[in-house]
Amino acid sequence: MSHIDVTTWYLEQTSPDDLRPAAAPEGDVRIVRAEVPSPEFSRFLYSAVGGDVSWVDRLGLTYAQWREILDRPGVETWVAYEKGTPAGFIELHALDEGVVEIMYFGLVPAFRGRRIGGHLLSYGTARAWDLADRWPGRTPTKRVLLNTCSLDGEHALPNYERRGFRLYDTRVAPKPAVETPGPWPGAFA
């Protein structure tokens, strides 16, 4: 199997004041929390958003494994809709000691370049900062983390930086070169 060098950038915010929100896009765009954990819906979002940028880590998970991830206290999925159609999502994971990680974030390819991404990232980051308000007993958020890599879209890192995330680490590592399956096998054929 061939390998490619992948650069991963690790970013953070350490105060809610770090967030620099993007303007809301024009039109009928709403962001709604998926309050009922649904492995089917989460897998759909994951594959639809990440299929062209090598998101393959979760594709082999069983239904039970998806359920285990989504049922953890402090895991939230927020979905952007344009005119009722899912356009993208942001998945938050509360960790220990007031840390929240933006585990996944992105848009379905057909919705990229329409100013939805900056708005969804802004909204989702604000929800990371107030996550403890929705989860009694959780430590208030002190730090919001995320990472992106050279396989993600070219606008990912600049979007994070425009929203106020700061780089705190960079790593380069070889990873297996994988075919990007799209939302289903053969989608790009």
- What is the pLDDT, as a whole number, of residue 183? 64
User: Domains plus CATH for the chain?
Assistant: 3-176 (3.40.630.30)
Cα–Cα separations (whole angstroms), residue 124 to 77, 79, 99, 120, 135:
9, 9, 14, 6, 16
The distance of Cα 11 from the centroid of its chain, to the nearest Å, equals 13
Strands (E), 108-186: 143-149, 166-176
DSSP letter (8 states) at residue 139:
P
Q: Per DSSP, what are the bridge partners of residue 175?
A: 4
Residue in this structure with the two tokens 């939805």, named with its chain if needed: 116
Please, are residues 101 and 55 in contact by the beta-carbon 8 Å criterion? no
Residue 178 confidence (pLDDT): 72
Q: What is the pLDDT of residues 48-102, one digit of tens each?
A: 999 888 888 898 999 999 999 999 999 999 999 999 999 999 999 999 999 999 9
Place of tokens 């770090």: 18
Check if the beta carbon of residue 102 is closer than 8 Å to that of residue 91. yes
| 15 SS3 class | coil
In this prediction, the residues of the chain whose per-residue pLDDT falls under 50 are 189
